[in-house]
Amino acid sequence: MDKTIYLDNAATTFPKPECVYTFMDEFYRNYGVNAGRSGYKLSKKASEIIQETRTELSNLVGVNDQRKIIFTPSATIAINQVLYGLDWSKIRNVYISEFEHNAIARTLHHLSKKFNFKIHFLKFSPDTFEINTKDLAPKLINDKPDLVCISHISNVTGYILPIEQIIEMVSVSSPIILLDCAQSIGLVDIDLSKLDIDFAVFAGHKTLYGPFGVAGIVNNSKKVKLSEFIVGGTGSDSTNLDMPSDGTLRYEAGSYNIQAIAGLNAAIKWIEETKTNVIYRKEKELTDYLVNKLEEIEEIQLYLPKDRDRHIGIVSFNIDGYSSQEVASILDRDFNISVRAGHHCAPYVGRFLNTNEGVVRVSLSYFNDKEDVDILIEALNEILWR
């Protein structure tokens, strides 16, 4: 079998930096015990790597306080923890974008069956992807936002949402703000100390180049104390039937996935050494190279923001006469190229892009290169010449 060209990095970055595999295996072999439950040396070492990883992460996002990092097994669980942890008796108006992932969309839909709130859309122009401020301004006054959930980078279009602009616009009523950074932390600089964001969710296995099994919440809220969501043992105060009332433990029931956390630790160190802006520049250059090549193909329709500075890593398109699934299947079968087709767990983007059948999504990482893009472009041309 020929080498596979992996272009599904928005699903999970693959491969990881070598140090992630190595350190994860090594740490798990040497210190693979249950952290935070015992006082012995091995357990302390495991606890130390957790604290160190919290510190690294908190520095990476500018909050510089390891107590603000809550670990969860997945970004989906992190988002569930935030949304289920809110006091819904106080929430009437929720604003989301059409770029949201089902981790947010389905969870809000599920909550809407129990609680009485309305979901409003921050509307973006399908031509430019710019936010429709004219319609939004009066709406924000009539239906004051209590909660705003937005993606930092769209997992379908690679669009970097104008979060500063959105935060400023919705600030009329000081809503709770949840930022879904699954596709952004590690790739774009983010300084949460300068943004009025309550909760930012990260996924270890995507732009952070860590493994599956670790994700979490940057809890930067001054106004909200989340209720517990997953309940269970915390290795502390065992005879108390309530979860700890303070600290990250309140949200971290069950055993820590020390192996995954060790992998994330190595990944963040790799990002710090490589530097986020270097990763960004390399990926941006490759993204632009891919976009330019795709634009040369007449039969291809691209779904891109007008402002290309707001676009990174993910390129979605369709080919006249083919469904997105057909394109992805042929690319895999005949060319060993891995891309994803369909709606990508983003329920509203199809409507926004005016495409019912989904899109072909090509998503890059630091480890892709121009040769990968060239092979893809050649394959697409071959499909069209058939």
Touching a copy of itself, residues 366-385 (CB under 8 A): none
Confirm or reject binding of residue 38 to a copy of itself (CB under 8 A).
yes
> Which among 60-68, 169-177, 258-266, 364-372 is the span making contact with a copy of itself, rule CB under 8 A?
258-266
Tokens representing residue 268 in the block: 């963040």
Binding residues among 298-317 for a copy of itself as defined by CB under 8 A:
none
The answer to whether the beta carbons of residues 360 and 319 sit under 8 Å apart is: yes
Cβ partners under 8 Å of residue 179, min gap 6: 150, 151, 152, 163, 195, 197, 199, 200, 201
From the list 90-98, 229-237, 265-273, 298-306, the region that binds a copy of itself by CB under 8 A is 229-237
Segment contacting a copy of itself (CB under 8 A): 140-148, 167-175, 223-231, 376-384? 223-231
Output helix, strand, coil percentages for the chain, rounded to the nearest 5: 40, 15, 40
Measured from the CB of residue 194, what is the shortest distance to a copy of itself in angstroms? 29
Q: Is 179 in the site for a copy of itself (CB under 8 A)?
A: no
Residue from 50, 153, 260, 380 in contact with a copy of itself (CB under 8 A) = 260
Cis, bond preceding 15 (omega within 30 deg of 0): yes
* Residue 338 in contact with a copy of itself, rule: CB under 8 A: yes
Closest distance of CB 172 from a copy of itself, Å: 28
The verdict on 354 binding a copy of itself (CB under 8 A) reads: no
Please give the radius of gyration of the chain, using alpha carbons only, rounded to the nearest integer: 21
Q: How far apart are CA 261 and CA 259, in angstroms?
A: 5
Q: In the bound complex, what is the minimum distance in angstroms from residue 283's beta carbon to a copy of itself?
A: 19
Q: Return the number of the residue (63 or 200) whose C-beta is nearest a copy of itself.
A: 200
The residue written with tokens 């306080």 in the block is 65
249-253 contact pairs (CB < 8 A, 24+): 249/36, 250/226, 251/70, 251/72, 251/81, 251/85, 251/217, 251/226, 252/70, 252/71, 252/72, 253/228
The answer to the question of residue 4 lying near a copy of itself (CB under 8 A) is: yes
Nearer to a copy of itself, 162 or 210 (CB): 210
Find the binder of a copy of itself among 57, 175, 340, 352 (CB under 8 A). 340
Q: Which amino acid is at 146?
A: D
Which residue of 3, 114, 222, 242 would you call a contact of a copy of itself, by CB under 8 A?
Answer: 242
Whichever of 220 and 363 has its CB closer to a copy of itself, that residue is 363
Q: Are the CB atoms for 358 and 341 separated by under 8 Å?
A: yes
Print the binding letters for residues 126-165 with a copy of itself: x by CB under 8 A, - otherwise.
----------------------------------------
- The helix (H) or strand (E) run that includes residue 370 is helix 370-385
213 sits near a copy of itself (criterion: CB under 8 A): yes
Candidates 234, 287, 324, 365: give the one binding a copy of itself (CB under 8 A): 234
CA angle 255, 199, 114 (to 5 degrees): 85
Output the smallest distance, CB 255 to a copy of itself, in A: 6
Nearest distance in Å: CB 65, a copy of itself: 26
113/223 with CB nearer a copy of itself: 113
DSSP class per residue in 300-355? EEE---SSGGGB-SEEEEEETTS-HHHHHHHHHHHH-EE-EEE-TT-TTHHHHHT-
